Amino acid sequence: MKFLSRVLPFILPILLMSCGSAESKKTATDHTTQNDLDGAPTFNADSAFSYIVAQEAFGPRVPGSAGHKACAEYLTSFMAENTDTVITQRGTVTAYNGDRLPIVNIMGRVKPQLKDRVLLLAHWDTRPWADADPDEANHNRPINGANDGGSGVAVIMEIARQLKTLDLPVGVDLLLVDAEDYGHSATFENTTESWCLGTQYFVDHLPYGRDTLPRYGICLDMVGGRGAVFHREYMSEALAGSVVDRVWNVAARSGFGDRFINSVGGSIVDDHIFINRAGIPCIDIVEINNPETGSFPPTWHTLDDTSANIDRSSLRAAGQTVLNTLYLDIPR
């Protein structure tokens, strides 16, 4: 993860490259006028937590490591069991420091025959260095990434399991991207492209035609911290504001208005930036205004990012909101 800032010098180029249509954004806003959430499936936070523990059992999931390889097999198998078809993208990318990284992007597809689609995504790799740890002796040690990586993946896994109970009239793509967290943290300017390498690879090898791009996307990152609250992220507002409106309205209607704060909390470089560049209006649900730190959760890029510091109520707030957002696509 990826530098929090109030001012982004690269915002104009990204805005110019983003080609999400006004029509797509209007569709997302219109759905929020529905009022009935009765019958929506209940997101199981205990199940999501178990998926975090399962990922953590592989150890740090740094590209090229044994834990990374084993976890890729686990996630691919899970998607094969819980979705209709799986796309895996395997490649090699070059990190900012010259490291060559073997990556695996994993996408489970529900109802792949439908052109009308929604994209959910999270990164599944973990930071190679605990460079924010209070003990400098730990700065070259890899993190477990229970929250930063594991929590977003776990929410998507639980949603994949829940989708079996829904007869959605839209297709859903559940994308787990690699090599998000191998970026340069020394400065903010001119390091944007060092992050989210797996998503950049995905965009360069996009498995969609222009007429089958998902209508919108939701990225989930660090959604399991203790007492986590989710402010409207600045770049999400700028690039896909109507999707932010839709999700935050659903959160309020679902009883999570105290978790989804209706004000901008800052801006970050994350996977949603590059998905927007592909022409898919995409937002980020992420904790970026923690009351203790003023930015990311206190466990961010430290050895304390373990399942012991995961809050099931945070997982439920994020997961139920996204599940309800999908549920509202069902005409009633």
pLDDT digits (tens, 9 = 90+) for 88-118: 999 999 999 999 999 999 999 999 999 999 9
Residue-level pLDDT at 37: 73
The gap from C-alpha 13 to its chain's centroid, in whole angstroms, comes to 22
Residue-level pLDDT at 288: 96
Query: Token pair 């939701």 is at which residue?
Result: 218
List beta partners, residue 268.
4
Q: Is the pTM of this model over 0.85?
A: yes
Q: What is the pLDDT of residues 72-82, one digit of tens each?
A: 999 999 999 99
3-7, 161-165, 166-170, 256-260 — which is least confidently predicted?
3-7
Find, among 234, 257, 266, 82, the residue nearest to 163 by Cα. 82
Residue-level pLDDT at 39: 77
- H or E stretch including 117? strand 117-123
Spatial separation of the C-alpha atoms in residues 96 and 83, rounded to whole Å: 34
- Cα separations (Å) of 257 from 100, 136, 249? 43, 38, 8
Cβ-based neighbours of 193, under 8 Å, separated by 6 or more: 200
Residue-level pLDDT at 210: 86
Spatial separation of the C-alpha atoms in residues 259 and 97, rounded to whole Å: 37
Residue-level pLDDT at 186: 66
Neighbour-count burial of 263, counting CB atoms closer than 10 A to its CB (0-12 exposed, 13-18 middle, 19+ buried):
exposed
Cβ-based neighbours of 257, under 8 Å, separated by 6 or more: 251
- Cα separations (Å) of 104 from 88, 139, 193, 198, 306? 7, 26, 18, 8, 23
The gap from C-alpha 249 to its chain's centroid, in whole angstroms, comes to 19
Question: Which tokens in the block code for residue 54?
Answer: 């399962």
For residues 287-304, one letter each, b for 16 or more C-beta atoms within 10 angstroms of the residue's C-beta and e for the rest, the string is: bbbbeeeebbbbbbbbbb
Mean pLDDT of 239-244: 97
Q: What is the pLDDT of residues 223-232, one digit of tens each?
A: 999 999 999 9
The alpha carbons of the chain give a radius of gyration, in whole angstroms, of: 18
Residue, of 308 and 38, whose pLDDT is higher: 308
Percent of the chain with pLDDT over 70: 87
